[in-house]
Amino acid sequence: VQLQASGGGLVQAGGYLRLSCAASGRTFSSYVMGWFRQAPGKEREFVAAVSWSGKNTYYADSVKGRFTISRDNGKNTVFLQMNSLKPEDTSVYYCAALDGLSIRFYADPKRYDYWGQGTLVTVSS
């Protein structure tokens, strides 16, 4: 599975962005898809994940109520809608794919099998 993230950019605090992650490969629908972020000098942290069917979603406490993860298996794409952005959301955002049988590890970046290249989100105050 190859992943290509896009949609990052510069936005003012309180604004919104929508990230996309396009996947290649016919087995996309069998993977749990996650978004992680990493700010300079910090470890990569979990943001959100969605089950293979899209019915189950998981969020970090820091983004709950502001971010929404979704997927379109017909288009092999996962999305991250980010609203009410804050300066502390500034990071490089990565999408990643996790084998569906390992869904209980959705928040552990070390468990993910494939990663996209990252897209930079900058939120100005």
Q: What mean pLDDT value characterizes the chain?
A: 96
Rounded Cα distance between 90 and 24, Å, is: 27
pLDDT digits (tens, 9 = 90+) for 17-63: 999 999 997 788 899 999 999 999 999 999 999 999 999 999 999 99
CA-to-CA separations, 3 to 35, 82, 88, in angstroms, rounded? 12, 19, 25
The pLDDT assigned to 29 comes to 86
The pLDDT assigned to 28 comes to 86
pLDDT digits (tens, 9 = 90+) for 73-109: 999 999 999 999 999 999 999 999 999 888 999 999 9
